[in-house]
Amino acid sequence: MQIQWKPDKSKSDYIQDQIIQYFKAKISSGSWPVGTRLPSERKLAEQFEVNRSTISHVLDELKARGIMASYGSKGTYVFNNTWSLMQQPDWNRHIESSLYKPNHKMIQQINKYEFQEGIIRLGTGELSPDLFPKDIMKALLIEASESVLALGYEENLGQLKLREAISQHLTTLNIKASPDQILITSGALQALHLISIGLLQFGSNVYVESPSYLKSLYTFQSAGMRLQGIPMGNEGLDVDQLRSIYKRKEGNLLYTMPTFHNPTGIVMSDENRLKLMELVNAYQIPVIEDDAYRALWLDTPPANPLKSLDPNGHIIYVGTLSKTFAPGIRVGWVTGPQTVIERLGDLKMQLDYGTSSLSQFVALKWFEHGYHELYGADLRAKLLDRRNHMVAALKRHMSPYGKWEVPTGGFYIWFVLNKKINSSVLFERALKNNILLNMGHIYDFKENHALRLSYAYASKSEIDQGIEIISRLIQAL
Amino acid sequence: MQIQWKPDKSKSDYIQDQIIQYFKAKISSGSWPVGTRLPSERKLAEQFEVNRSTISHVLDELKARGIMASYGSKGTYVFNNTWSLMQQPDWNRHIESSLYKPNHKMIQQINKYEFQEGIIRLGTGELSPDLFPKDIMKALLIEASESVLALGYEENLGQLKLREAISQHLTTLNIKASPDQILITSGALQALHLISIGLLQFGSNVYVESPSYLKSLYTFQSAGMRLQGIPMGNEGLDVDQLRSIYKRKEGNLLYTMPTFHNPTGIVMSDENRLKLMELVNAYQIPVIEDDAYRALWLDTPPANPLKSLDPNGHIIYVGTLSKTFAPGIRVGWVTGPQTVIERLGDLKMQLDYGTSSLSQFVALKWFEHGYHELYGADLRAKLLDRRNHMVAALKRHMSPYGKWEVPTGGFYIWFVLNKKINSSVLFERALKNNILLNMGHIYDFKENHALRLSYAYASKSEIDQGIEIISRLIQAL
């Protein structure tokens, strides 16, 4: 091979880069196909009028990148001329070697199909747009427009007035939390992310009801924690099982949703709550209590949170406006011992420097004007009607195929199939019929044949239509 | 020691917990002071009428917690009766063993004192409330109140219309990015956090200008990356230095702020931009370009972003509304190769499930109505006036003590002291005079004696007053 080209010495400090670019141009243009042997380092150095060490460095660089390779002592040849290898950083290798896990494939699909037109969302954990309090929102935004909002960066923990309003709200649940024990988060999910990086260590065990929606989230798994499922019955998680498998270690903790559990709808009984708190106190078990669905009771108000039985600070309590007002507002809160809240607030400054001030303002007025109670009552009536509608549809179409309990609050009916089915096949066939299902197995630690149905999102006619189609698909399987 | 108490067998599965609670009550009430020896396991088992294994288990539990200890074979005694040890999970050990680093102490102090009344903030990276576009905000909120906002969960990448508007905005900077190559983030900072967990690995090197505000953030350091400082001059980062120290490895990348660099205000020269891109292309170096301050040019518009010179997808480009509209809105964006954006969007679903819909709506209208350009022009005029004012104050009071360049855009003047001073002492003394300073050393990799001064936040009279006081404090040191 004859090389005529020489680097341009007038831009002396670019020589290596010029040579690399020259080689890459030759290879990517096809002038030097795969297998082409290069002249020796000595000859290249002579031709380019540079030191041999410069040539060495250039060839090492191209070899490290997989573009060239050596025959031992016999010289260097072109090994690969793939365009992306030649021209781009290898982003896929960056992604594969990085810290966090991608979401569950089915969750990725669900996240995507939720935005497809015409799809019936039978499992969505979100209020229907019909249930959005438009008039309240309008009033709150007009109020916001009249206030002088500077919208600067916020205090570490979030707007003081909003923390005061939430502190007030928590007293109605028998929880004493001063504003400096409350952190405003971008939804309850962010509180979990903050806990994962701010309180737990790689390899910690997070004990959690089995099934649990936490299993589908990957927030803890990505940060290197292991989820351990605790069986649950109609009274909530099995405290004896927890006692027997719980291992004391910094970073280990219990995550529980004792009230209107997602996905099963179960409410932990009063007796079981006391039993759990006795264990928690005896073993000093740190607990995250997720109380996202509390306000959505349909029959009678549920027992107060575990946090109300926690004078010693074992529990980190998480709440949100996503399920009772609107998820798009992205306002949640977390309360617990002050050292914990300060830690989480400090780390929030490394993640996003605070939650939208606009959202915080609207949330403040939501509480101040009493909409949390007023609209809550309205919403419960509408959700009750929807729940009853879905239960009737299940009775009509699904009785032969499985069992369910009628939930006393929240969004979900946990439908357990009588027979094994192939979850992925049912999911795909439902999709072909424009129905999006949240299959139970994404929430579980063991094989399961269940569906998380939601009466919160789809309209009544969509519920009827959807359930009927699903019943036919199950029959066919 | 005589024990009369027995566990209540009628609640049989609580026996262990009852015994633990009994022991703890005795210890914390002072009945059993530190050093108290317990009866043997055999005697305890007889007294409580339980198996010896139950007693073993209880004692192991209390020993693991540091409440009791053993004398080898001679039995068990009370080792510690600290109240928090007895009653609470050890949250401090959780915090200390967890994944992320706390923020720099001085940053924590700055975050705190920024909200103290009467303080003069001479270094704050934020627009003064005087510069907040109140009338525009009012109009945008009235518009929002008139729109039917359902405020549901959003698409993975953020509202399509907002991504379209940003795509449009980017074309004015000669950047081609389709909406599916754009992710909406909660400020530019969240984009960095997503990159740290979604593209980098533990131990990756992030190359960055020295000094850089990234050094003060801990976002990458917390996730286990190392920052490596690259010297910079008046033309921006030293490309030759980068070439000589850059190591190829998945996860390694360059973070740069070529335009109105924070904290130095430097703009990378055109020639140096081309030289950097030549290196980036030759070595296929992945790059994060942070362009937060671009719109705030005071003399002439800056060169187009590096990203406009990047047909091969080496650069992840980050922008934000925080510096040109308001930080409290928490809207930023990131664009890059589609695989990268999809990856970051997928992970955002593990962190906070999307950015506030309200903020996204306001940001959309901000772009749609052309305020980004209109208000930008207004803001530049006001910032120019403030910059000139601060430069005049520096000339009056600070000339004997150090040097500075007049920045051509952004918020900051990088004031380099002539002599070594004790940074912490100056910071503390300034605080006593109600002045909050951002000391240069928090941004640097080597010892430095500089201040990051900001003309964006404090009022003109505060600037005069603050600079004068600081000059006296420096003289006294």
Query: Does B137 contact A at CB distance below 8 Å?
Result: yes
B271 in contact with chain A, both atoms CB, cutoff 8 A? no
| A145 inside 8 A of chain B by CB | yes
Claim to verify: residue A306 and residue A341 sit in the same structural domain:
yes
Q: Residue A109 above 70 pLDDT? A: yes
Is residue A373's pLDDT more than 80? yes
Beta pairing partners, A70? A76
Residues B349-373: tens digit of each pLDDT? 999 999 999 999 999 999 999 999 9
Instruction: Please name which of A340, A99, A116, A198 lies closest in space to residue B101, comparing C-alpha atoms.
Output: A198
The answer to whether residues A140 and B142 touch, using CB atoms and an 8 Å cutoff, is: no
Helix (H, G, I), strand (E, B) or coil at A428: helix
CATH of the domain at A29: 1.10.10.10
* pLDDT tens-digit map of B273-301: 999 998 998 888 999 999 999 999 999 99
Which residue, B36, B4, B35, B37, is CA-closest to B22? Answer: B4
Please check whether residues B305 and B440 belong to one and the same domain: no
Rounded (to 5) percent helix, strand, coil in chain A: 50, 15, 40
A469 and A434, same structural domain?
A: yes
**Domain presence at residue B134:** no
Interchain contact B376–A (C-beta under 8 A)? no
The verdict on A137 touching B (C-beta cutoff 8 Å) is yes
Same-domain check for residues A27 and A77: yes
Contact criterion met (CB below 8 Å) for A206 and A228: yes
- CA angle B254/B257/B259 to nearest 5° reads 145
Q: What is the mean pLDDT of chain A?
A: 92
pLDDT at residue A154 in the model: 82
Asked if residue A180 is part of any domain, the answer here is yes
Q: In 3-state terms, what secondary structure has residue B48?
A: helix
Which residues in chain B have their CB less than 8 angstroms from residue A89's CB?
253, 284-286, 313-314
Specify the pLDDT at position B90. Answer: 79
Domain carrying residue A364: 147-371
Give chain A's domain count.
3
What are the tens digits of pLDDT across the range A311-333? 889 999 999 999 999 999 999 99
Instruction: Mark whether A229 and A119 lie in a shared domain.
Output: no
The pLDDT value given to residue A13 = 57
Contact A314 B88 (CB under 8 A): yes
**Tell me, what's the pLDDT at B12?**
54
Single residue among A322, A352, A371 that ends a domain in this structure: A371
Examine the domain organization and report whether B398 and B302 are in the same domain.
Answer: no
Mutating which of B94, B116, B131 best tests the A interface, going by the most A Cβ atoms within 10 A?
A: B94
Tens-digit pLDDT profile for residues A331-362: 999 999 999 999 999 999 999 999 999 999 99
The DSSP bridge pattern shows strands A287-290 and A226-233 to be: unpaired
Q: Do B27 and B110 fall within a single domain?
A: no
Q: Which two three-digit tokens encode residue A95?
A: 């992604």
In this prediction, residue B57 carries a pLDDT of 87
Judge whether B189 is closer than 8 Å to chain A, CB to CB.
yes
Q: Residue B224: list chain A partners with CB under 8 A.
A: 99
Confirm whether A455 is domain-assigned.
yes
Give the closest of B20, B24, B330 to A356, CB-based: B330
3-state secondary structure A282-300: HHCCCEEEECCCCCCECCC
Residue of chain A whose Cα is closest to the Cα of B135: A145
A24's enclosing H/E stretch is: helix A15-28
Strand-pair category, A315-320 with A332-335: antiparallel
Return the structure tokens found at B352. 């906070």
* pLDDT of res. A194: 97
Q: What percent of chain A has pLDDT over 70?
A: 98
CA B106 to chain centre: 13
Nearest-CA distance B179 → chain A (Å): 15
Amino acid A444: pLDDT: 95
The nearest alpha carbon in chain A to B337 belongs to A91
Q: Are residues A115 and A197 in the same domain?
A: no
Q: What is the per-residue pLDDT for B249? A: 79
ipTM for the complex shown: 0.89
Distance CA A284, CA A337 (A): 14
* Residue B148 banded pLDDT, cuts 50, 70, 90: low
Whole-angstrom distance, CA of residue B172 vs CA of residue B308: 10
For A:384-423, CB contacts with B below 8 A are none
Asked whether the beta carbons of residue A198 and residue B357 sit closer than 8 angstroms, the reply is no
- Nearest Cα neighbor of A197 from B112, B183, B103 is B103
pLDDT at A148: 65
Phi–psi pair at B227, nearest 5 degrees: -90, 135
- Reported as a single tens digit per residue, the pLDDT across B442-468 is 999 998 999 999 999 999 999 999 999
Domain match, B302 and B209 both: yes
The per-residue pLDDT for range B100-145, each reduced to its tens digit, is 999 999 999 998 898 888 999 999 999 999 999 999 999 999 999 9
Would you call A114 an interface residue with chain B, using a CB distance cutoff of 8 Å?
Answer: yes
Which residues on adjacent β-strands are paired with residue B250? none
- 3-state class (DSSP) for residue B248: coil
- Cβ contact A186–B149 (<8 Å): no
Report how far apart the first and last C-alpha atoms of chain A are (Å, whole number): 66
Q: How confident is the model at residue A15 (pLDDT cuts 50, 70, 90)?
A: confident
pLDDT confidence of A87, banded at 50, 70, 90? confident
Q: In this model, does residue B159 exceed pLDDT 80? A: yes
Contact between A281 and A239 under an 8 Å Cβ cutoff? The reply is: no
Lowest mean pLDDT among A149-163, A228-242, B380-394, B428-442: A149-163
Alpha carbons B290 and B270: distance in angstroms, whole number = 17
* Cβ–Cβ < 8 Å for B246, B314: no
B12 touching A (Cβ < 8 Å): no
Q: In B162-225, where do the E strands start and end?
A: 182-185, 205-210
> B27 falls in which pLDDT band (50, 70, 90)?
confident
